Structure 1
Amino acid sequence: MWFTRLSIGNPWLATMMMVAFVVLGLFSVQRLQVDQFPDVAFPVVVVQTDYPGASPESVESEVTRKIEEAVNTVSGLRALTSRSYSGTSLVVAEFELTVDPATATQDVREKVAAIRATFRREVKEPKITRFDPADRPIVSIAMTSTGTRSLRELTTLADQIVKKRIENVRGVGQVNLVGGVKREIQIYLNPAQLEALAIGVDQVIAAVRGENQELPVGALRSAAQERVVQIQARAKTPDDFKRIVVARRPNTGSGQPVYLSQVATVVDGQQEQESAALIDGRETLALDVLKAQGQNTIDVVDSIRKAVTAVQRELPPDVKLEVVKDSSTPIRTAVSNVARTMVEGGLLTIRLR
């Protein structure tokens, strides 16, 4: 009660203290991080491993079961579930709530790394991520063309320009392309020619893999300078692939070479489309932007919009970027409603007094 008596005896002091509290509150509220949901860390780790071309049964026996046996030995494990799809293995490890998510992720990563050498060569590097309920796109950007550009051309522009610019924005964690198709050199073998020339499929695969690569050789050093030596033999066009020597005919004196063009058809095509993005029923290319953990959604979205405006000037005139989804809108609305309610509550309190 001493504070009440002090305020009654010194009204100016009480007024100045209240004004100081209000100013301090206004100053602090502008620097508070705002998000739609609280930052809750769940100790759940996901291991995704790609095994291209493998059936679900092969994925289960060659990948999933080995990962399960390794991860099952991690302490604090509560539940372990897995799914084996065509070409993909998915293992989800759920730990007790008392386990630190970062520690659980590191333990799983070490266990998977220990068995990595037992996988077949065709199995890709496992992707180990920590489950985050807020790990969803905060912004979706549609990339369209008013001209005759194909989806493949838009994908190239998005991958080489737009995606890189947005990834450099402060607070952005990841940018995913949805509905894109990338360039792919496709080689269709001719079984009759292979049989006639006594060439196996494995010989063709080995020749293409061996000729299409870039390797560092070393360095040439002298008293005045040092030069880095590299082998740049990566094929860039279908004609480069056609000139690859896949075998040599043993019945000729000089070992006449057999080129890839003699046993296969090389096509400059595109990868199979695995996802699709539609706007008003029209197929388009979308970029989903995920924020980094602990970042302010509103600040990140504002920075992304500025980056989209800047990168639009670097694109051809017929290519347009449009933000079609903005997760900060309901957050802004909720904050505005809270602020208005606070003001109304304060005015009603003063009025009732």
Structure 2
Amino acid sequence: MVNKLIELSLRNRLIVVILAIGLLVWGIFNIQRNPVDAIPDLSENQVIVFTEWMGQSPQIIEDQVTYPLVSNLQGVPKVKNIRGTSMFGMSFVYVVFDDDVDVYWARTRVLERLSYAQRLLPQGVTPTLGPDGTGVGHIFWYHLDAPKMDLGEQRALQDWYVKFALQTVPGVAEVASFGGFEKQYQLVIDPVKLQFYNLSMMDVMNKVKANNNDVGGRKFEMSNMAYIIRGLGYIKNKEDIESIALGNNNGIPVRVKDIGTVQMGPDLRLGIFDANGEGEVVGGIVVMRYGENADKVINDVKKKMGDVQKGLPEGVGFKIDYDRSELIEAAIANIKGKLIEEISIVCIIVIVFLLHWRSALSIIIQIPITIAISFILLNAFGLSSNIMSLTGIALAIGVIVDNGIIMSENAYRNLSEWQNSQPPNQPS
């Protein structure tokens, strides 16, 4: 079989050359399309359901949120396993699907089932899907370099400007903010005054909530002109909150400032983010979308950060804490270096020992064609270029070189023996 294949190739050398060139071009096209990452994605094919119910104990979260969700998600098709975790104020449900299931099909099925499970949860509790990323999706970390801004202002800048801008980058699933203080209006109530005016905490909560709202009206026509009437009631500063009426005492309105004080303060924090022991910072974590090219997404994020930098206040900049593209570029540079080294060694060995440049050329041509074909197979099986796959290709190059040298030497020896066996007067 092998002899016939060799004989067929020798008789149709033009066809073999055309096929080799076609595979090389096809492989180069696949190299450009193949996703590049530093580490292989070995995480499970899962969809995360996150539910927040602040102020509730883990046992209540388990009984009223986690258990109903896990019970109703059991019927989703192609589910391999479901795991639930309950903690203070939060619930996480991990729905693990079979490996061959498309991640967006899985998210659609889970979302359909959540619309049914919503009626079983307490009022005001809404489960949401986590970002469509994977366990290795954290590809880029940064923080703001703003020594003249306090942590609250930095967090507001991150949440309301930087985060929204970076989320528009193709391939980014989420930009998670960390550090600093989230600003909020805080109402400090005096319980003695609350009892004196015969009010409850729920009365205060409901009145404040009801007075932070715009009210829609209807169209009013006058003098051939139409006017839209609406009531503006959104809170803009703490003075607006202090002026909200909670009730009346002998015909005199009781306002928020009569039963307590309003202040601007930070939300409750469960931790801090410190940079190299030099103090707290504010920044974000860029999460890559499932199946995207990590190297391309990181480069696009850096380019977008350059545009965002123009709109930041004076003296504010970015500092990068983690950049996976450095590891990616190092892995790519490693295989390029090995490729050049092995091609050089092949040239030296074959030319020095055989004194035949065509034999060296035949071996050198095999290396790029074989690498190109390997990327065709990587794309066919949905695998990315990472440390594992590139290391395998680098090791395979050595095998290709060894086989090429052995085959060239064997062919050279057989041709030499055949020529020496011919009669002197017979042309070779």
TM-score range, shorter chain: 0.7 to 0.9
Q: TM-score, normalised by structure 1?
A: 0.86
Structure 2 residue matching 1:45: 3-state secondary structure: strand
Change (3 A) 1:146 1:96: closer
User: How far does the alpha carbon of each residue in 1:64-93 deviate from its partner, in whole angstroms, 9 at most, with x for none?
Assistant: 121122112334433332121111112222
Query: Deviations for 1:235-289, whole angstroms, at most 9, x for unmatched residues?
Result: 121111000000122xx3xx32110111111111121224422212121112111
Task: Select which of 309, 314, 320 maps to 2:306.
Answer: 309
| Offset, 1:169 | 2.2
Query: Any unmatched runs of 5+ in structure 2?
Result: 1-6, 351-359, 361-428
- Pick one of 63, 71, 94 that aligns with 1:92: 94
Assess, with a 3 A threshold, how the Cα gap between structure 1 residues 132 and 28 changes in structure 2: closer, same or farther.
closer
Indicate the residue corresponding to 2:262 in structure 1.
266
State yes or no: 1:257 paired with 2:227.
no
More helix by share: 2
Partners of 1:17 and 1:91 in 2: how far apart?
51
> Which residue does 2:237 correspond to in 1?
237
Aligned equivalents of 1:28, 1:223: Cα separation in 2: 69
Correspondence 1:291 to 2:293: no
* AA aligned opposite 2:303: K
Which stretch has the larger CA shift, 76-85 or 183-192? 76-85
Task: Name 1:182's counterpart in structure 2.
Answer: 182
Aligned residues of 1:211 and 1:233 also touching (Cα < 8 A)? yes
Mapped partners of 1:23, 1:104: distance in 2: 36
The structure whose residues are more often strand, as a share, is 1
1:80 counterpart = 2:86:
no
Structure 2 Cα separation of the partners of residues 139 and 101 of structure 1 = 22
Distance in 1 of aligned mates of 2:17 and 2:198: 98
Would the alpha carbon gap of residues 225 and 302 (structure 1) be closer, same or farther in structure 2, given more than 3 Å must change? farther
* Cα RMSD, aligned residues only: 2.9
State the secondary structure of the residue aligned to 1:284: coil
AA aligned opposite 1:95: F
Please show how residues 121-270 of structure 1 align to structure 2 within 5 Å.
Answer: 121-123=123-125, 125-129=126-130, 132-147=133-148, 149-217=149-217, 219=219, 228-249=228-249, 252=250, 255-270=251-266
Judged with a 3 Å threshold, the aligned counterparts in structure 2 of structure 1 residues 5 and 222 are, in CA distance, closer, same or farther, namely farther
Offset at residue 216 of structure 1 (A): 4.0
Any stretches of 5+ residues in structure 1 without a counterpart? none
Whole-angstrom CA distance in 2 between matches of 1:72 and 1:20:
49
Q: Partner residue of 2:335?
A: 338
Q: 1:127/1:92 Cα in 2 relative to 1: closer, same or farther (>3 Å)?
A: same
Q: Give the match's secondary structure for 1:350.
A: helix
The aligned residue for residue 414 of structure 2 is none
Task: Give per-residue Cα distances to partners, 1:130-158, cap 9 Å, x unaligned.
Answer: 775355321111102232x1100111122
Contact 1:52–1:122, Cα closer than 8 Å, also in 2: no
Structure of higher CA gyration radius? 2
Alpha-carbon distance in structure 1 between the residues aligned to 2:274 and 2:43:
33
Q: TM-score normalized by structure 2?
A: 0.72
1:164 positional shift: 2.1
Give the secondary-structure state (helix, strand or coil) at the position aligned to 2:314. coil
- Taking only the aligned residue pairs, the percentage that are identical comes to 23
- May I ask how many residue pairs the two structures share in their alignment? 343
Aligned residue for 1:2?
Answer: 8
Which deviations, in whole Å up to 9, do the C-alpha atoms of 1:97-117 show, x marking residues without a partner? 455543433333222221313
Greater mean deviation of Cα atoms: 50-59 or 227-236: 227-236
1:179 and 1:273 in contact (8 A); partners too:
no
- Which of 278-287 and 268-277 deviates more? 268-277
Q: Contact (CA 8 Å) 2:172, 2:287: kept in 1 or not?
A: yes
> In the TM superposition, what whole-angstrom CA distance separates every residue of 1:165-199 from its partner, at most 9, and x where no partner exists?
21222322211111132210001111111111111
Q: Distance in 2 between matches of 1:119 and 1:24?
A: 54
Q: Is the 8 A contact 1:41 1:132 kept in 2?
A: no
Identify if the C-alpha distance between structure 1 residues 3 and 96 changes in structure 2 by more than 3 Å, giving closer, same or farther.
Answer: closer
Paired residues of 2:133 and 2:287 also in contact (CA < 8 A): no
Structure 2 residue corresponding to 1:102, chosen from 73, 94, 104 = 104
Please say which of residues 255-264 and 226-235 is displaced more in the overlay.
226-235
Partner of 1:350: 347
Residue among 109, 116, 121 paired with 1:114: 116
Q: Does the 8 Å contact 2:152/2:266 carry over to 1?
A: yes
- Counterpart code for 2:112: E
Match of 2:343, SS?
A: helix
Matches of 1:159 and 1:336, distance apart in 2: 37
Q: Distance in 2 between matches of 1:115 and 1:6?
A: 66
Report the more deviating stretch, 239-248 or 170-179.
170-179
In structure 2, what residue type is equivalent to 1:313? K
| CA-CA distance at 1:333 after TM superposition | 0.9
SS of equivalent to 1:277: coil
Equivalent position amino acid for 2:202 in 1: D
CA distance 1:170–1:104, change in 2 (3 Å): closer
Which of these residues, 315, 320, 323, is aligned with residue 317 of structure 2? Answer: 320
Residue matched to 2:372: none
- 2-structure distance, mates of 1:111, 1:316: 45
